Each structure stands twice: as structure tokens, then as C-alpha cells.
Structure 1
Amino acid sequence: MCGLLALVRNPSADVPSDLVDAVFAATHLMRHRGPDEPGAWVDDPQRPVSVLGFNRLSIIDIAHSHQPLRWGPPASPDRYVLVFNGEIYNYLELREALRSEFGVVFATDGDSEVIIAAYHHWGTEALNRLRGMFAFALWDTVESELFCARDPFGIKPLFMATGPGGTVVGSEKKCLLELAEQIGIDQTLDHRALQHYTVLQYVPEPETLHRGVRRLESGSYGRVRPGQPPQVTRYFTPRFAPVPFRPGEEQARYDEITAVLEDSVAKHMRADVTVGAFLSGGIDSTAIAALAMRHNPRLITFTTGFEREGFSEVDVAVASAEAIGARHVTKVVSQTEFVSALPEIVWYLDEPVADPALVPLFFIAREARKHVKVVLSGEGADELFGGYTIYREPLSLRAFDYLPRPVRRSLGKASRPLPEGMRGKSLLHRGSLTLEERYYGNARSFSDEQLRAVLPGFREEWTHTDITAPLYAESRGADPVARMQHIDLFTWLRGDILVKADKMTMANSLELRVPFLDPEVFAVAARLPLDQKITRATTKYALRRALEPIVPAHVLNRPKLGFPVPIRHWLRAGDLLDWAHTMVGSSQAGELIDLAAVRTMLDEHRSGTSDHSRRLWTLLIFLLWHAIFVERSTTPQISEPTYPVQL
């Protein structure tokens, strides 16, 4: 885990006198991603074409593998310069393959050198051989080209911006914005991206809230040549291709799931530092921790909860840790701590993400970093194995599939005058819609009618279908659950789940690894038929069967909760409500958000006449983001804990 920044200057543009210093200063803004060792490289200090900056969090081959890393074939030993964020878990196997096939001689014992050698010998096909999480930028001094790539699922981020002065890519958007003057980056707010955020709770890739900054999408690579716009190519698209179980092969297929997970966890445990695990009360993190115990019997697990009854996974997590024999550490968060940390958290995020669960994740990451340098976690299991309750909806709506479209539309119209909350109203409405119309992904904060009330710039044509229509087209012909999974892989997973996982752990110089999001695990999960994912009684059916020998019984069939956060209660009284009123009262974002409407929502929520907590949280996080990154009226106090190089 590290932070990278790479600039390719337009040779025809003037060279700002402070360009090189500005790149290195911008790199310093993400020192939390790699406090162990800074690094820099420039091809020509007087008239630079390429400048690379780096912050290293040393995990593998600590004494070597310094970055930016130089490597090349014998005829040109310094041809490539690499900055790389992430881990390649099969690097030992790839090193051996490169030695035997091409006679490659390695100067280090790490995974970074493997990336360069693999790209040199296999080209872009190397990306399909990398089993890991990664975002990297590789400068080719012979071709004068920057090659950058991102892992298949988007575990690690990579932002990109181009202006008259050149193109810059980096792990954090704030670093690119720091170079806006030197490069000429457009910092205008993207109103369409704001509307997408307000509906979805996150800004979907490749958008950001700044028009001039975009994200290299998951499973894609880009080529940047001096003076030319970036050329982006997708190299990986996840496909669900179910294969029905044959009679008598059920256990063999469950064993296949177990074996591939065991292998993934084993490879994710590779490190020269201590590895721990996050542990909630759910099946996914418990399975990962139990498998990790086989490689480290002294594993430390971590969880968090709140000072409010009913909003804690602590008791279940403690019982799980005891059942698998792990040492356990908990962090209980008060409302005051929660509110005080919000400005710092949003600064680390770069883009607003309206998922309250990222706050406890921030605190447990801070606690975990006192004990370990790497943690395993269970992200991705729901998207791969069918874990969200909403995936069961096609079963409950199956009867509507047999009705002609005009009849379904009539039922939808008949549901409109029914009182809100009346039994059957929602069923009739949703049954009248196609899957493409009703499923946005695993989140939706506002309806169009509600959006009109809070967004002065609301546009009818900026809808969720901007994002989902191409994805539905890709999954045409698949069963409805597989199509929902496909949507979530490209939206909720990489827009919310993986953003908060990366940002909140990296804020605390902690590396988070996700063994479920492994190409080999996906290959097995993608073959599961519908009845092995969702039943009327449960979710993740095949995964639960596969994990029966591994996961404690009290967790195996427990309903999914995630990190429950009491914002609905806290927005009715106390520190969080006071903070909310302060944010609305001081905000300068009135042209973007109807602040009077937000005040009304706060009053209705406080009185208990309506539950606006989810929508309020979405708007409040945006207002805080705007205060930090646009108004510059809020300057978070960024804590910089110091850690030993190795834990």
C-alpha cells in the first residue's frame, strides 16, 4: 500500500519554474498512504517530461524494493521507472515463470520488480496474470510513454487529469488538484456528477465532482504520451456464467469454493510484517479470519461498535474470535468522537461518500494500526456470491413476469393513490417496473421528486441510466440476480465499498486486503447457478454450505447487518444534530443545494414526523466536502501518528 503521483508534461507548454517542486509537494499531501519512505524521480530537472513521486508503506522486501523503481532488460537496464500501489499476491509464482521463460534476473525480493518484468515480456497480457490489488504508473524511457493500470475490481484507486500543461495521475484527487495551476486542470464542479452522487450516495466511476479530474476505471489501463490525451482500454470485464449443478456434485462444488478461498487467504497472508483481520458479526469476515488463523495462530482481530444499545457488532465478534481462537481488540465510538472526526474523514475521502459505516471503519483502522500493519477483510463476498437481501426481490416479484406489460403498468398506476406505508403499495409499484427501471444498484437515497426539492439544478435527463444502461446491455440474457450482481460490481462495490475500505485504512497507514476479490475466487463464484446464490430463506446459499466446517454455528446463518450506525437517532438530538445545523447555517453551497429544504428536513426528522436520516446524511456529507474542497472554509486537523517501520 502506497501513494503514487506521475506527471507527463506537454513538451509544447511552458515549464513552470516550480513544476518539479510542486509535484513533490503534492505527493507529500498523501504521506499517510506511505509514511515509511518518500521517493522521487525526474527525467530532466530543467525541462522535465516525466516526474514521479511516491510514498511507501513497506510490507514486502522492506530493505529493498524502493520506489520509484528502475528496471530494464540487459541491453537497457534503466529503461522503466515504476511507482506502484498495492500487492501482487502471486509474485513468487510470476518470478519463477519469468526466470524460466525469459531468464530474468531480479535485483530485489519484492513484487514491484515483477510488474515491470512482466509488462516488458508479456505486454498488456501481464495484467491478466497479476493476482492482486494494484494501481501503478510505469514510465518507458525508450517509448516516452506512461503506462498505467488498475486492478480488475478497482480495489486501489487511480485518478487522472489532463490540461494544457500535461497529464497527471495519482492515488488521491487532492494531489492532482494541487497541480491545477501548473497543469491547467479544470476545477469546475460537475453538476451531473453531483446529481448522480445525491441519488447513489457516491460519485460513480469514471466521474468525480471536478470536471477536469476523472478516474481510470477498474479493469482498465491507460497510455499517456507527451502532448497527447490519454488512451484508455478495458482489459477485464467480469462475467457471470452460471453452470447448473449436476446430480450428486453439490459437495464437490462446495469443496471447490472452500479450496479457492483457502488458497486466496494463504496468498493474501504473504507479508514481511504482522497481518491481522477485521471481524464483524457476519459470515464473510469470520470466514476470512478463521482461514487466516491456519497461517497465523496468533492472529489479532478487530471490531468496533457505538455507545448506544443495539448498534454494535462487538458481542458477536467477540464470540466469533473466541470460537476460532483469535485475540480480539474492540473500539467503542462515542457520538462526540464520531462528529469530531468527520472533517478529517471527508478530507481523506477526496470525494463524498454518504455511507455512515465508513466512520466506524476509520476508527477501527486507527485502532488496528497500533497492533498490525496489514488487515484482511471480507469485502466483495456479497457481490460475488449473492449476499444482499435485495437480490431476493426477483423471487418475490416472479408472478409479475407472467403479466402483459400493459397490465403491469396499470397495477403501478393503481398503486400511486394508495397511502404511503400501506401494505402492498411498494410491491405493486415495483412489480410494475422492469429490472432496469427499478434497480439502480445497492443504494438509492432520493427519488426524482425528492431530488427536485433539494437540487436547484436538477435535470430530468441526468438519471441513473447514465450509469446502469450500458451495464444492463452487457448482462443481457443473464438471470436477474446475475444482472444485479453485475450492476453492483461496477457501481456499489467500486463506488462505495472499496472507496471507504481504501481511504479509511490508508488514512491510518494500514493496508487492507480483500481475499474474496481475487480472480480465482471470482471464477468459481461466477459459475454458481441462481438457486445456489439466492433462496426464499437465505442469501449466499452455496457459500454458507461451503463454510459450514469453517465458520462458527452462531454466525453461519446470521442475517447481514454490516456496521450499524445510529445516525437516525443522533440526528434527532445531541452533537450530530448540532453539527448538522451548523453545517447548513454556514454553507456557501446554496446554488447547488436548497439549504432551506435541508432545514425543513432536519426539523421534520427531529420531530419524528419523517425519517430523513439517509437523505440528510447524503446532503450533509456533500456540504462538508464543499466546505473543505471548494469554499476552503473548513480546514481539518489532520493527525499524523508516527509508527515504527515494521509491526
Structure 2
Amino acid sequence: MCGFVSIYDRLGQPVNLDIIQKMTQTMIHRGPNEEGIILDGHLGLGFRRLSINGLKEGSQPFLNHNQSIAVVFNGEIYNYKELKKWLEELGYQFMTDTEAETLIHLYEEVGFDLPKYLRGMFAFQIWDREQDILFGARDQMGIKPMYWCETDHYYVFSSEIKGLLACPEVKRQVNQEALSHYLTFQYVPDPLTMFAGIYKIPPAHTWMVKNKEIKIQKYWEAQFQPDENRSFSDCVDETRAVIKESVHAHLMSEVPRGAFLSSGIDSSAIVALHRQHENVQTFTVGFDIPGYSELEFAKQTADTLKTNHHEVKIDATRYQEILPRLIWHQDEPVADPSAIALYFVSQLASQHVTVALSGEGADELFGGYLIYREPSALQMFSYLDSQTRKWLGSWASHLPNIKGKNYLLRGSKTVEERYFGNAFIFDEKMKKNLMTEELQQAYISPWTVTGPIYNRVPNADDVTKMQYLDIHSWLCGNILMKADKMSMANSLEVRTPFTDIRVFEVASRIPTKYKIANGTTKHVLREAMKEFLPTHVAQKKKLGFPVPIRYWLKNEFYQWAKDIIEESATSDFIRKSYALQLLEKHKHGHADHSRKIWTVLCFMLWHQVYIEEKYQFSTIEKGEVRRHHVILNLDGHQLLKKQGYSMRIANSMRSF
């Protein structure tokens, strides 16, 4: 697991070493072990390494034999040994047993089709000196991040936004369209970020800088193709086999491994399958408040599976104190309270292991969210024509707040009209009450995000449409983003076997009738895993890492939240009077506005951190840096002398 940056100067001017070095060092937490930099005229690459595989020979940037191609790579390629064997059969000679060298030779063989051959989590860039092409790709599910922007002189790329902001030409400015979407979704959907002019590379996309122009295009599509003729037992058997194989593949490393463990089926299944190969260290986070802790259930599971278990308990003070720093690590506001819980369990795990397996993605792929049962509950409305449903919705909207009103309102809408993803924070009426007139001028309907996604699957059933939307928005924008940023903040590599491309291929063929069945969700997955799980886990609903934000905002967090709202320099965007009104109603029990308040607070804290620059954070290296890396100028093959860096002869790939 690593981080990298790059600058391509469109004017053909040499890239400044100090800029690349400053950008690279913003991400020491992603790679505390080594640093490497290449300058080649108008192209600069910077790299930070967290050593997982190829401990002695996996340094980057990595060059081919004649230094015509260089690669920087973040992630893991689980089929790289298969690819290496194939390339050796084709005549390629390898000097190392590393993923980086495999990527270079695969590029030499298949060119820009390279990412189609990869199974793993990855973001990489390849610099082809002879063709003057900078080429890169992000993995299919969006596990590893990638950001970019265009300035007056540069195309700039980085594994984290803070790396881009270290470039003097990159400005800090709120993207008002992104803020409008954030208030709906609790995160900023691809390809926008909360910074104007800074963008995400979407999952399953490549990018290429050629002839001083950038081109971004999709290379893979996560399509559901349920096979209605398959038997339930076949679905169960295939699911069991592919998850077992995926967990085994995800154990590839030369460093200690462990796993996160909650009380639900997803993480428990990963741990149980992991335990078949080796002794496992497991890690759980919890809170003191009843109903918000999985510590007891996780400990029971750990005892049954005979793991070496560790747990951490968090209180309101500790949670509150760390929040600004964690928002700095996230780069953007993500109003998911469990992100901070994930930070603490990652911090705990990093004290014992370097790699941790986790259960993200099972709900999206196998139909695990309770909301996926809604289409069945609303089935009766599907027999009404569109005009009747519209009339019903209009009539229900005028009813007082009585039991059944929301059911009628949701039943009157199609799935495209009512479902905006797993998190839906502010509806349009409340959002406009919160937004200032200035921000309302930038307002764009959330339909501009969800509509194009729904339009790609017009003939799918409602549950499949909901899964499809979540995989293309919620999974990458929230779930996998927080897993990457919160683990990397602790120099910990988190791997998610459920989001493996081969697991998706199996999950995509399961009919909905087998996913939402027997009075539960992800029915196939439960059946496939039950032989490995303790009985108390097999049918238990997943809680994830629940966080007592609802309780804290009425008590310990109340004055703190009020102070942030009143003192925040966000009056151009947020009506503070309305935000304070929501807080008061929540405190006095008139309504549960905790998620809405938290969404506002996270944006305001992000604004303090990144726009006002009220806080100054620096990355503290985890342990002692093993060795600094060379800084190489490929233009003339001259080493640049820089204090604190080792000087090495740069005449072969082994210089790196």
C-alpha cells in the first residue's frame, strides 16, 4: 500500500524537484518505509512506500531495463504471479518478483488494455518516455483512490487531495455544486470533489496524457446479469467457493496479517475463512453506551473461532478531539460517523499487523441492506398506473404526520424517484431551507447523479437497480473511501475480499429471489457461509460499527456542535439559524436530526481545516523510515544531490 503523485508540465518546462518532494511528503502515512522520485524533463513522479510484498526489491518508481518506461503503483495485484508466468512464457525476462515489474512488462505486451488483465485493488501511472505518454488506471470497484486537476501549466495527479494542494498552482476553493450533492448523499459523488477544479478518477477508468491533452475513459462496467434458471444450491455453492478463494488470494503478503471483526456475518465470514489458513489476530471497536457496541458479540465470535482478539473502547471526548485531524486525512467531508470508528480500529490493528482483511462490499454485492426489502413491501403499488400513483402521492402529501403517510408517499414513487442511495440526508425541501441564496444559485438536482446510473439499467428489477446505484455511488464514494483513508492514516493496508472482481462476477448472476428471501437479506451469502460461522452470527443483522452520534449530540457534543455552527466561516453557504434550529429540536427530542446535524458539522470542520486552514497537521511517520530512496533525473541520467538522500549509481533498474 502506497501513495504517489505526478506532474506533467504541458508547456514542456522541467518539473521542479521541490514541488514533487513537497507533494510526496504530504502522504508519508501512506508509505512510511521509503520515498522515490523521478524527474524526466516535463514529467515528475513521486512515491511513498508501505512495504508489503517484495520487501527487498519492490522499491518504486520502477524502471524497465533501458529506463524507457517507469511505473508507480498503489495497491495489490492478486494475480500478478499468474501474469508473470504468462509473460515469462512469452519471453520476458524478470529481474525481480514484484507487481511493479509485472505491470511494466504487461504494458509492453498489451499496451493500454493492461487494466483489463488485473485482479486486485490498484491505482497506477506508467510514464512511457519514448511516446511521451502518461497512462494510468484505477481498479474496477474503486478501492484505491486517484485525484487530478488541471492548472495553467500542469496536469497534476495524486493518491490524495492534500498531495495536489501541495502544488502551488492548485487553489483551495469550495465547489458549490459538490456541496449541494453532499447535503443529499453525505459524500461528494464522482467525479466531483468538494474542491473546485479538483476531480476524482472514477473507478474502472483509465487516464492518458498525450499530446498535452488528457483523456479519461471507462474500461469495465459492473453489470448485474441474474440467471433466473440457476438453482438456489448452485448459487450457494458457487458463492462459497469464490469467497473462500478470494480470502486465500487476499492473504498474499510478506508482513503480519489480521482482520477487523464486528458482530455480523460479513466480517465473521472473512475471519472464519482466514482462520483456515493461519492463526488470526482480530480487532473490534466499541462504545460505552448500550446499543452502540459490538464488543461483547465480537468477543464471543472471536472466542468461538479461536482468534487472538483485541478491542478498543472510545468515549465522546476522544472521538471529538481527533475529529479535525481525521477530516484532514479524509480530504473531503464524509458525514459517516463510522469513519471515525474505523480510524480507531485501524489504529489498534496497526500496532499488531500491517495488513487487515475487512468485510466491506458484501451488502452491495449480495443484497444485504434492509432497504433492499422495500420493493417487496411496496409491491402492491406497482399494479397502479403512473397517473394514479402520482395522484396518490399528492393526496398523501397533504395528510398530517400520521402512521402510514410515509408508506403511501414512497409507494406512490418509482424506485428511481424515491431511492437516492443508502444514505439520503436532506430532502430537497430541507436542503433549500439550509442553503443560502448564493448556494441555491449553484443548486443541481441529485437526479443529475442518480439518473444517468439508473438509465443504464432500465429493465432491471427494483432491487437490482438499487444495488447497481449503490455500487456505482455509495460503495466507492463512502464505504471504500473511508476504508482507504482511515486505514492509511495509520499506515495500515486494508483488503476487502468481497469487492474482488471474481466475487462480483458470481454475485452478479444471483437472482433477486435468492438474495432477498426467507425473511432476510443476502440469503445466498448467509447459506454459503453458515457452515463456517458460529450459530449466534449466521442469522444476525449486521450493525457495522455503530456510533452514538444521536446520543452525543443531545449531551456531550451539544455545546461543541453549537459553537462550531456559530463560529464557522461558512455563512456564504449555510443558513446557520436553520442549522441551530435543527440542533435544538434534536436536543429536546422533537425529532432525530442527528445525521443532518452531523453532515453540516463535518462540512464546517472541513472548511476550517482546508479552506480557512485553521489547523496545521503534519504526518508523523510510523516508526523509523527504513531508508530514503534515490532522486533520479532521467534526462541525462544524472543523480540530483539532495541532503538526506542516499546517492546511488543510476545505470540500471536495480538503482531503484
Same topology, TM > 0.5: yes
Per the TM alignment, residue 489 of structure 1 is displaced from its structure 2 partner at its CA by: 0.6
Q: Which of the numbers 420, 431, 434 marks the counterpart of 1:440?
A: 420
Per the TM alignment, residue 417 of structure 1 is displaced from its structure 2 partner at its CA by: 2.3
Instruction: Map Cα deviations across residues 449-490 of structure 1 (whole Å, 9 max, x no partner).
Output: 111111112259611111111111111111111111110011
Q: Residue in 2 aligned with 1:60?
A: 53
Quick check: 1:150 aligned with 2:138? yes
Unaligned 5+ runs, structure 1: none
Q: Residue in 2 aligned with 1:332?
A: 313
Quick check: 1:78 aligned with 2:67? yes
Q: Residue in 2 aligned with 1:568?
A: 550
Quick check: 1:260 aligned with 2:242? yes
Q: Residue in 2 aligned with 1:361?
A: 342
Q: Residue in 2 aligned with 1:449?
A: 429
Bigger shift: residues 22-31 or 218-227: 218-227
Amino acid paired to 1:234 = K
Amino acid paired to 1:275 = R
Q: Residue in 2 aligned with 1:243?
A: 227
Q: Residue in 2 aligned with 1:6?
A: 6
Quick check: 1:350 aligned with 2:350? no
Q: Matched residues in 1 for 2:496 and 2:626: separation?
A: 23
Corresponding pairs, count: 625
Q: Which of the numbers 199, 206, 209 marks the counterpart of 2:191?
A: 206
Q: Which of the numbers 463, 484, 497 marks the counterpart of 1:502?
A: 484
Q: Residue in 1 aligned with 2:91?
A: 103
- Retained in 1: the 8 A contact 2:232–2:514? no
Per the TM alignment, residue 92 of structure 1 is displaced from its structure 2 partner at its CA by: 1.0
Per the TM alignment, residue 23 of structure 1 is displaced from its structure 2 partner at its CA by: 1.3
Quick check: 1:37 aligned with 2:31? no
Q: Matched residues in 2 for 1:388 and 1:264: separation?
A: 22
- Retained in 2: the 8 A contact 1:49–1:226? no
Amino acid paired to 1:468 = T
Instruction: Map Cα deviations across residues 77-132 of structure 1 (whole Å, 9 max, x no partner).
Output: 211111110000111111111111x2111111121211111121012332122110
- Retained in 2: the 8 A contact 1:9–1:226? no
- Retained in 2: the 8 A contact 1:275–1:372? yes
Amino acid paired to 1:224 = V
Secondary structure in 2 matching 1:441: coil
Q: Which of the numbers 301, 305, 309 marks the counterpart of 1:320?
A: 301
Secondary structure in 2 matching 1:109: coil
- Retained in 2: the 8 A contact 1:11–1:226? no
Q: Which of the numbers 466, 469, 476 marks the counterpart of 2:458?
A: 476
Q: Residue in 1 aligned with 2:23?
A: 26
Bigger shift: residues 578-587 or 52-61: 578-587
Quick check: 1:188 aligned with 2:173? yes
Per the TM alignment, residue 639 of structure 1 is displaced from its structure 2 partner at its CA by: 4.9
Q: Residue in 1 aligned with 2:644?
A: none
- Retained in 2: the 8 A contact 1:288–1:377? yes
Over 3 Å counting, the alpha-carbon distance change for 1:222 and 1:460 in structure 2 is: closer
Secondary structure in 2 matching 1:436: helix
Q: Matched residues in 1 for 2:469 and 2:217: separation?
A: 20
Quick check: 1:269 aligned with 2:233? no
Secondary structure in 1 matching 2:440: coil
Secondary structure in 2 matching 1:58: coil
- Retained in 2: the 8 A contact 1:377–1:515? yes
Q: Which has the higher contact order (CA 8 A, sep 6+)?
A: 2
Q: Residue in 1 aligned with 2:386?
A: 405
Q: Matched residues in 1 for 2:624 and 2:410: separation?
A: 52
Q: Matched residues in 2 for 1:395 and 1:518: separation?
A: 29
Matches within 5 A, 1:275-294: 275-294=257-276
Aligned-residue identity in percent: 40
Per the TM alignment, residue 15 of structure 1 is displaced from its structure 2 partner at its CA by: 5.8
Unaligned 5+ runs, structure 2: 628-656
Per the TM alignment, residue 637 of structure 1 is displaced from its structure 2 partner at its CA by: 6.9
Per the TM alignment, residue 70 of structure 1 is displaced from its structure 2 partner at its CA by: 0.5
- Retained in 2: the 8 A contact 1:134–1:155? yes
Instruction: Map Cα deviations across residues 275-333 of structure 1 (whole Å, 9 max, x no partner).
Output: 1000101101111111111111x210001001212210111111111111111100100
Q: Using structure 2 for the length normalisation, give the TM-score.
A: 0.93
Quick check: 1:166 aligned with 2:163? no
Amino acid paired to 1:6 = S
Quick check: 1:309 aligned with 2:294? no
Q: Residue in 1 aligned with 2:474?
A: 492
- Retained in 1: the 8 A contact 2:29–2:620? no
- Retained in 2: the 8 A contact 1:204–1:495? yes
Per the TM alignment, residue 643 of structure 1 is displaced from its structure 2 partner at its CA by: 6.3
Q: Matched residues in 2 for 1:476 and 1:583: separation?
A: 44
Quick check: 1:528 aligned with 2:510? yes
Bigger shift: residues 554-563 or 349-358: 554-563
Q: Residue in 1 aligned with 2:631?
A: none
Secondary structure in 1 matching 2:542: coil
Amino acid paired to 2:489 = A
- Retained in 2: the 8 A contact 1:344–1:638? no
Instruction: Map Cα deviations across residues 524-556 of structure 1 (whole Å, 9 max, x no partner).
Output: 100000111112610001111111211211111
Over 3 Å counting, the alpha-carbon distance change for 1:8 and 1:644 in structure 2 is: closer
Instruction: Map Cα deviations across residues 324-360 of structure 1 (whole Å, 9 max, x no partner).
Output: 1111100100111000000110000001100000011
Q: Matched residues in 2 for 1:635 and 1:449: separation?
A: 37
Bigger shift: residues 592-601 or 257-266: 592-601
Matches within 5 A, 1:578-597: 578-597=559-578
Q: Using structure 1 for the length normalisation, give the TM-score.
A: 0.94
Q: Matched residues in 2 for 1:342 and 1:390: separation?
A: 29
- Retained in 2: the 8 A contact 1:208–1:351? yes
Q: Matched residues in 1 for 2:221 and 2:479: separation?
A: 19
Q: Matched residues in 1 for 2:243 and 2:109: separation?
A: 30
Q: Residue in 2 aligned with 1:550?
A: 532
Q: Matched residues in 2 for 1:378 and 1:487: separation?
A: 20
- Retained in 1: the 8 A contact 2:123–2:139? yes
Q: Matched residues in 2 for 1:237 and 1:254: separation?
A: 24
